[in-house]
Amino acid sequence: MANHKTRLAVFCSGTGSNFQSLFHAIEERRLPAEFALCLSNRSECGAIVFARQHGIPAIHLSEKQYETHEAFSSAMLKTLEEHDVDYILLAGYLRKVPETVVDAYTYRILNIHPALLPDFGGEGMYGINVHKAVLEAGCKESGATVHYVDPEYDKGPVLLQKKVPVMPDDTPESLAARVLECEHKLYPDALEKLLVGNES
Ligand code: GRF
């Protein structure tokens, strides 16, 4: 189809600063994509507010709303199908994506992780824990990774990575801020690579 835009679902649990940077990059770089929905396990968070303000369907979907895991994953799949979603972008989503959804969207789910995978990934490696571990290991550099999602945590093939230096006086918080800034460029770059094959 000539003018088909790739329809993206973004999954978030918090601030949604990566969602916002992706949204702006799509506008500025004129990437052939649009947000079909923003899904969150939280009824109110920065990402949900941003979605509402920008006319993007904001959907609260939590496992707590369902009696079984199967009912929850079916509801998630149905939502994605109803909104005609091509790709899912995880951006600070603090839940595991149900296996049936991962299977239905093989190589069509991306995640951003605030470290240089395969190092500092896996269960428990999220938020400030990642940056504490990087500092404790004495690394001279850290960074961020955009990767495809498979049923294991942080294990799918890497799409794009970007490095940042670790400074001698870094705290987990100062390193987190530097990495987050890097993420805001990396995720749009990865999306551009995926959609148009450009690598900036
Ligand atoms: C980012 O550091 C991302 O790498 C991690 O969660 C954080 C989300 O931040 N998965 P935000 O909600 O995009 O501001």
What are the domain boundaries of the chain? 6-196
The CA distance from 134 to 21, in Å, is 25
Q: What tens digit of pLDDT does each residue of 61-79 get? A: 999 999 999 999 999 999 9
From the candidates 4, 113, 147, 184, give the one annotated as an active-site residue: 113
Residue nearest (by alpha carbon) to ligand 1 atom 8: 92
Candidate from 18, 94, 110 with most ligand 1 atoms within 8 A of CB, to mutate? 18
Q: How much distance in Å is there from the Cα of 16 to the middle of ligand 1? A: 7
Q: What is the CATH number of domain 6-196?
A: 3.40.50.170
d(CA 19, CA 50): 9
Give the Cα separation of 105 and 86 in Å (integer): 8
The whole-number average pLDDT for the span 111-121 is: 96
DSSP state, 10?
A: E
Q: Which pLDDT band, with edges at 50, 70 and 90, does 57 fall under?
A: very high
Band of pLDDT at residue 105, cut at 50, 70 and 90: very high
Q: Is the CB of 18 under 6 A from ligand 1?
A: yes
**Polymer length of the chain:** 200
Ligand 1 atom with minimal separation from the 183 CA = 4
Question: How far, in Å, CA of 171 to CA of 160, rounded?
Answer: 26
Per-residue pLDDT reduced to its tens digit, 1-51: 456 899 999 999 999 999 999 999 999 988 999 999 999 999 999 999 999
Cis preceding-peptide flag for 118 (omega within 30 of 0): yes
- pTM equals 0.95
pLDDT over 70 for what percent of the chain? 96
Q: Which atom of ligand 1 is nearest to the CA of 47?
A: 12
Question: Would you state the pLDDT for residue 165?
Answer: 98
Residue 35 contacts residue 51 (beta carbons within 8 Å): yes
Overall average pLDDT of the 161-175 stretch: 98
| Position in ligand 1 atom list of the atom nearest CA 20 | 13
Specify whether the CB–CB gap between 39 and 79 falls below 8 A: yes
pLDDT score of 122 more than 90:
no
**pLDDT band at 112; cut points 50, 70, 90:** very high
Known catalytic residue at 113: yes
Place of tokens 């490095």: 163
Residue located nearest, by CA, to atom 7 of ligand 1: 92
- The stretch 148-164 carries a mean pLDDT of 90
